[in-house]
Structure 1
């Protein structure tokens, strides 16, 4: 999970529409426009990414963050192009419970209100993660009983606040190391591996309708880390624990190659009876960007989208913000970037068009 960061009408039709407007303004009677001269209907215009994904019964969304809400041009595209959004940081523990028992939902409410106003679905991210925890939690000394009480209270207060407004919760984020062993977080060291099942049960108690996910990076293809999640989810399902989704973050880099078995991996999780979502997709490159690198990036984006489309239980894709202007990549990976489908000037890149084509646009 990233650290804090982030349709043209033919000219002839435009002229025809303007001419008709002038005639009407002058009070002149005009004959009905021919089919050729009528403005394109919503059905015939190229669809947005969100609209195209809905035709496949999936969503296509973008993460966002509150500092971006001062950028009107950015918000215009965020609200019009995408069918879903994820608050990049506003729902994390440091933001929602900055002091023990003191909750602040101001930033998260802003993102949710924007999504609601634009008829977007919202993914909740994240209830439990080893990073971006408040100092009062990480610097405290807790018994297992104390930490369980803190964890349950946090999860249930946050989930209840957004009950009915969030379709998915990333309940536990990044629980495993690359070799498939448990990450020795504060929660694992104090509570043992059972904290994952407890977190899922507590979230389900607070909102029966939100789908509950485990989420991680470097789990695109089949390997030790994704195997660990496969084994865990299979066991959780057998134990009746309400786990309903697996989130594949999808932070790729051109220099490391494309996960050719991503569709196969998605399908094996779907076979466990859980949804799959691509939750934080971006594809970075070593700078400067070149035409060749951008073309490869475009192919990779399309291939990832096609993999999701081929798996019925892959319910949607979220890019980790849509523009390089607000990408988290350069601050974490110096010398790398250009990871998103729009450039720093909010102009679509080859990746945007490849995604659109993959979705049938």
Structure 2
């Protein structure tokens, strides 16, 4: 398998240590350092990255993507606007490209996302629907996409970002037309289409215990009581240094485990005001270490996915003015202190 630049640098660092200790340098090449995925696998976890179609022409980027990680999430290629751009006309080419790349690299795929209020096609949002009409549209979309990828997707983010910060339901096209029952329906329809895929609810600002994560906790209890198929809760973990670390993360993971759910950190990045400096990068590294350790401490926290692994392709600068430097690799694909902090936590 092609060596990543990260592995070569780690091997080089190891060679320097061996040389200074008087050991023959040849030993460094024989012992290639384990990847993040290999370190996570020792704990029964996965370590993944999101990716998106435009960056798949970047060969150095793809080399790291294909070796350091064992789980891939398509950032945009499986969203509604991409997969059903016209009503009843489906296009899975972008998702297929990422699924095929992952399969070639012996990686699993998290499907993202079936039901979300954002990035919807104009044909869906530009008209009023009756409840019966929208139910039929929603069911067809979910089942067509899930059936297309049946057997090739480890888990689906079935419903994404269903609640407001105060724990009330987000007033989406689906909620306003169908009521809160759309969530249970979406889970049932996805399960019918692929009974073996793990089904998740997924959101941001739910890492700590608070009104929003409380709302999900209550919803999961209700869904379980109704016999609705649900397997996991995804905590996106888009964190920012200026807002403080979610100190109740581990406790929060545990309480969802007690409901019989797997949990996962699904879209991890830790942004800061740029330019980055040594102190900010050190704090960021500590947060990545703490998040990794929190997942390792809770048996049913199954894995961690970075929201793409490099600052080169981060979504942060386009959405948060003056912020960035959120990922464990910099824009030159060089590992940052956060990368080594994750490695230490996984050891």
- Normalising by the residue count of structure 2, what TM-score does the alignment of the two structures yield? 0.94
The yes-or-no answer on 1:88 pairing with 2:75 is yes
Correspondence list, 1:1-361, <5 A: 7=7, 8-9=11-12, 11=15, 39=27, 44-360=31-347
Higher helix share: 2
> What SS does the corresponding residue of 2:76 show, helix, strand or coil?
coil
Q: Is the 8 A contact 2:18 2:28 kept in 1?
A: no
> 1:69-128 deviations in whole A, cap 9, x for unaligned?
110110000001111110000000000000000000000000000100111110000000
Report if aligned partners of 2:15, 2:28 keep a CA contact under 8 Å in 1: no
- The answer on whether the counterparts of 1:125 and 1:170 sit within 8 Å (CA) in structure 2 is yes
Structure 1 runs (4+) deviating above 3 angstroms are 9-15, 35-42
Separation in 1 of the partners of 2:316 and 2:203?
A: 17
Counterpart-to-counterpart distance in 2, 1:75 and 1:125: 20
Cα distance in structure 1, aligned partners of 2:83 and 2:141: 9
Q: Is the 8 A contact 1:171 1:213 kept in 2?
A: yes
CA contact (8 A) 2:203 2:235 kept: yes
Aligned-partner Cα distance in 2 for 1:289–1:250: 20
Q: Which ranges of structure 2 fall in alignment gaps of 5 or more residues?
A: 1-6
Which one has a bigger Cα radius of gyration?
Answer: 1
CA RMSD of aligned residues (A): 1.7
Alpha-carbon separation, structure 2, partners of 1:346 and 1:100: 40
Give the length in aligned residue pairs: 334
Distance 1:240 1:329, change over 3 A: same
Aligned residues of 2:111 and 2:157 also touching (Cα < 8 A): yes
CA contact (8 A) 2:201 2:234 kept: yes
Secondary structure of the 1:348 match is coil
The answer on whether the counterparts of 1:172 and 1:196 sit within 8 Å (CA) in structure 2 is yes
For 1:338 and 1:161, the matched residues in 2 are separated by 36
Task: For 1:155 and 1:72, locate their aligned partners in 2 and report how far apart those are by CA, in whole Å.
Answer: 33
SS of equivalent residue, structure 2 residue 245:
coil
Q: Report the equivalent of 2:4.
A: none
Q: How has the CA–CA distance of structure 1 residues 350 and 149 changed in structure 2, closer, same or farther, with 3 Å as cutoff?
A: same
**SS where residue 156 of structure 1 aligns?**
helix
Counterparts of 1:292 and 1:13 in 2: how far apart (Å)?
A: 26
**Contact residue 13 and residue 39 of structure 1 kept, 8 A:** no
Contact 1:245–1:275 (CA under 8 A) maintained in structure 2? yes
Unaligned runs of 5+ in 1: 1-6, 16-34
TM superposition shift of 1:140: 1.8
The structural deviation recorded for 1:45 is: 3.1
CA contact 1:13–1:37 (8 Å) conserved in 2: no
CA separation in 2, counterparts of 1:36 and 1:324? 36
Preserved contact between residue 253 and residue 283 of structure 1 (Cα < 8 Å): yes
Deviation at 1:63, TM superposition (A): 0.2
